[in-house]
Amino acid sequence: MYMKYNCNLYGIKGSASMEFMQKADEMRKNGEQVLSLAGGEPDFNTPHKICEAAAEALKLGDTHYAVGKGILPLRVKIAEKMRKENGIECTEEEVILTPGGKFGIYMAIFTLINPGDEVIVFTPSWVSYIPMIEACGGCAVPIELDYHNNYMLEEAEIKKRITDKTKAIIINYPNNPTGRILSWEEAEILVRIVEKYNLFIISDEVYEKIVFDNRTSISIGSFSSIRDKVITVNGFSKAFAMTGWRLGYTVAAREITEMMYKLYVHTITGTSPFIQRAALKAFECEAEVQNMVMEYERRRNFFVKELNKIEGITCRMPEGAFYAWVRFDTDKSSEEVAAMLLAQTGIVGVPGSSYGEENETCMRFSFACTMEVLEEAVRKMKRIQF
């Protein structure tokens, strides 16, 4: 049958969080009062020294193609960070700089998937994994995690969904939208499964630095027995408030990296050299990152505590990332609740169904916004009639 466009693209939906961010913008332009808690980006500016380094690199004319996997000093820094902070044994030859973590995830999926291969995604999940798998001709296998079990991975449930077509599992910790981080027990489940069924893991760790209550995030690639089966994806967007710079990276065994590089070199060539130069300064921004995380934690503490005081609303303390995953005790769907909230209060959040949560009525609200916005949101939510 003649298909005008790539058949993999027909069923793909837009990004829900982007849609809601745009909606908030439109409403604002029309003079309506909106409180946007839909976005997925830090409200802080990029640390000054990173901006200055970019300006300096531009002045010096660092504006040509950056050929290769990324500039060497940055790849060396990232490999060192991965060894020291994440416990992942790797060299700079196993690092590729990508335009955002997002392209790294796409490149990883594209590299692993043949038509019809199955990829396990745990839901609720970030909105882009399933569309990316489908765009690559793969078949997404969502495994619904249970709200009442705090979205813990369950070995038996995962095993039930593995077939001879299962190729990979995508994980994301700290998690968007639930705010969970991976426990040791869950990491061990994943290691056992990868070993037993010879699978790959794509581990999206873009929120790695945003963890609370002195927690640390576990990198699954640090388990040496499966090191060569893991593609770790990370980036500068969330930790360093650099969403608009579009810089991320992948870390994977040499063989996988060389395969990914084939796609990379023929699609994006490389990321901007002056942005990579600036990103080197990110490794000197520990204090700035710590300040941002402390502020997220302060907002989280306030927001979650206040939300839980509202009848019919429950919210667990997120362990990482900057989202409150809020459950509404109602028969209404999450889209209906989102529409009601918007109409009655002007609050914009993202309905849980966008993340694949079908059993509970949940919504995601970002607390990467000012305290004033959160205070106002809480005041307004208290008045809502469900």
Residues 283-322 vs ligand PLP: string with x where CB under 6 A? ----------------------------------------
Q: In the chain, where do the E strands start and end? A: 35-36, 95-98, 118-123, 139-144, 166-172, 200-204, 230-235, 248-251, 313-315, 323-328, 347-348, 350-351, 362-366
CA pair distance 347, 27, nearest whole angstrom? 11
Site for ligand PLP contains 100 (CB under 6 A): yes
Which is closer to ligand PLP, CB of 173 or CB of 303?
A: 173
Site for ligand PLP contains 281 (CB under 6 A): no
Site residues for ligand PLP, window 330-369 (CB under 6 A)?
Answer: none
- 85, exposed or middle or buried, with CB in 10 Å at 0-12, 13-18, 19+? middle
The residue within the footprint of ligand PLP, chosen from 42, 131, 221, 235 (CB under 6 A), is: 235
Q: Residue 136 has which token pair?
A: 């690559």
SS3 97: strand
Site for ligand PLP contains 172 (CB under 6 A): yes
How near is the Cβ of 214 to ligand PLP at its closest, in Å?
22
**DSSP H or E run through 193:** helix 184-197
Find out whether 165 and 116 touch, Cβ atoms under 8 Å: yes
Which is closer to ligand PLP, CB of 108 or CB of 194?
A: 108
How near is the Cβ of 172 to ligand PLP at its closest, in Å?
5
How near is the Cβ of 231 to ligand PLP at its closest, in Å?
13
The residue within the footprint of ligand PLP, chosen from 106, 126, 223, 367 (CB under 6 A), is: 126
Site for ligand PLP contains 276 (CB under 6 A): no
Site for ligand PLP contains 250 (CB under 6 A): no
Can you say whether the dihedral through the CA atoms of 73, 79, 84, 85 is positive or negative?
Answer: positive
Which is closer to ligand PLP, CB of 233 or CB of 313?
A: 233
CA pair distance 53, 189, nearest whole angstrom? 43
Size of the site for ligand PLP (CB under 6 A): 13
CA pair distance 2, 367, nearest whole angstrom? 47
How near is the Cβ of 379 to ligand PLP at its closest, in Å?
28
Give the residue closest to ligand PLP by C-beta: 100
Give, in degrees to the nearest 5, the angle at Cα 272 between 94 and 21.
100
Contact residues for ligand PLP, defined by CB under 6 A: 40, 100-102, 126, 172, 176, 204, 206, 235, 237, 243, 248
